[in-house]
């Protein structure tokens, strides 16, 4: 899943080549072009976004995952200044006495995404608000609550409302970003001394009720789970904790592999291969913090080299492909 600049699609753009020639499986959309603010991003109005998604699906034969971060509050790509409805933060939803506010916010959000042609929302955040000063979760109001059961209840409501409108949801950031004191966009994040198994409760609860469409990893290092690698690259965390212990066998997305917690510490090919080998099914390159027009063919080259060197097995890729195909069968494409 790759990001790209621009509000319109043309045959000469690298993203068009990636879809047609390389079989790219998904795109992620942004409302700001962070690597070059002078360039237009993907979202300027409802009409424009609908046409962009239609053009993307037409190129892909209707098989493209089109993802967006539309949590509400501080993190939303479809914003009021572009004509979209205002949606409050998760912390505001979670502060209500019941899940009614969450249901309404999720209904509005899912309707916007459905009308636009997006297929998957990278929400809800199921991180526990353990550290209210957490610069990337608590301080931005992205967590429903400091109570795991309350987080699970609001997340369940959010996911059900999205399913009613055939929009996939992706819970994040496994195994829990709420207790961190730093931002993985900017660098290494160690939660060894702050994380607890309480942060797994929403995942266990939602899984037990068949309410997880997909999971996104966090670039979080926890030596109590894996002394060597952050969660995104950790076999113990993904294949072990998430798949074997919790029992989840659906699609796992990486968080953006261009975030400094990964890109600043690991060579590109190693990051790609270790992430796949750990059990991640879809590699996400936002292509927004930094832009590389050839990120898709470079990733393919890295995977092929990893297979040839024995760092990635074909069996792991086949399992990932089956899970992705299963997820895409749940997808509704509007043209």
Which residues are catalytically annotated?
185, 255
Q: Report the alpha-carbon distance of residue 213 to residue 75 in Å, rounded.
A: 20
Instruction: Quote the longest CA-to-CA distance of the chain.
Output: 56
- Of 191, 200, 297, give the one whose Cα is nearest residue 247: 200
> Do residues 179 and 191 touch, judged by C-beta distance below 8 A?
yes
Rg of the chain in Å (alpha carbons): 18
**H/E element, 120:** strand 120-121
Q: In terms of C-beta density within 10 A (0-12 exposed, 13-18 middle, 19 or more buried), how is residue 279 classed?
A: buried
For 217, how many CA atoms within 13 A lie in the half-sphere containing its CB?
37
CA distances from 116 to 15, 44, 59 (A): 19, 12, 17
> Do residues 68 and 118 touch, judged by C-beta distance below 8 A?
yes
Q: Report the alpha-carbon distance of residue 325 to residue 25 in Å, rounded.
A: 10
């Amino acid at each position: 899943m790759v990001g790209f600049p621009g509000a319109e699609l043309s045959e000469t753009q690298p993203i068009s080549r990636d879809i047609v020639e390389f079989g790219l499986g998904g795109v992620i959309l942004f409302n700001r072009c962070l690597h070059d603010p002078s360039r237009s991003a993907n979202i300027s109005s409802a009409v424009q976004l609908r046409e962009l998604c239609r053009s993307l699906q037409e190129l892909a034969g209707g098989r493209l995952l089109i993802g967006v971060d539309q949590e509400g509050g501080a993190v939303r790509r479809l914003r009021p200044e572009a004509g979209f409805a205002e949606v409050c933060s998760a912390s505001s939803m979670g502060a209500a006495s019941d899940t009614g506010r969450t249901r309404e916010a999720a209904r509005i959000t899912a309707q916007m995404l459905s009308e636009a042609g997006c297929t998957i929302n990278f929400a809800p955040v199921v991180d526990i608000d353990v550290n209210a000063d957490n610069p990337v979760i608590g301080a931005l109001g992205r967590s429903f609550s400091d109570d795991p059961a309350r987080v699970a209840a609001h997340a369940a409501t959010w996911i059900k409302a999205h399913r009613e409108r055939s929009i996939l949801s992706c819970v994040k950031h496994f195994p829990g970003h709420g207790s961190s004191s730093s931002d993985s966009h900017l660098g290494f994040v160690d939660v060894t001394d702050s994380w607890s198994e309480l942060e797994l409760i929403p995942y266990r609860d939602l899984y037990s009720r068949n309410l997880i469409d997909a999971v996104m990893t966090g670039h979080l290092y926890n030596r109590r789970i894996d002394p060597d690698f952050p969660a995104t690259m950790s076999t113990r965390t993904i294949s072990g904790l998430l798949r074997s212990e919790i029992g989840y066998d659906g699609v796992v997305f990486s968080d953006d592999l261009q975030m400094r917690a990964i890109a600043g510490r690991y060579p590109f090919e190693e990051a790609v291969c270790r992430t796949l080998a750990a059990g991640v099914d879809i590699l996400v390159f936002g292509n927004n913090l930094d832009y590389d027009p050839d990120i898709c063919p470079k990733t393919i080259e890295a995977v092929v080299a990893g297979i040839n060197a024995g760092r990635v097995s074909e069996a792991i890729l086949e399992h990932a492909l089956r899970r992705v195909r299963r997820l895409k069968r749940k997808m509704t494409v509007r043209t």
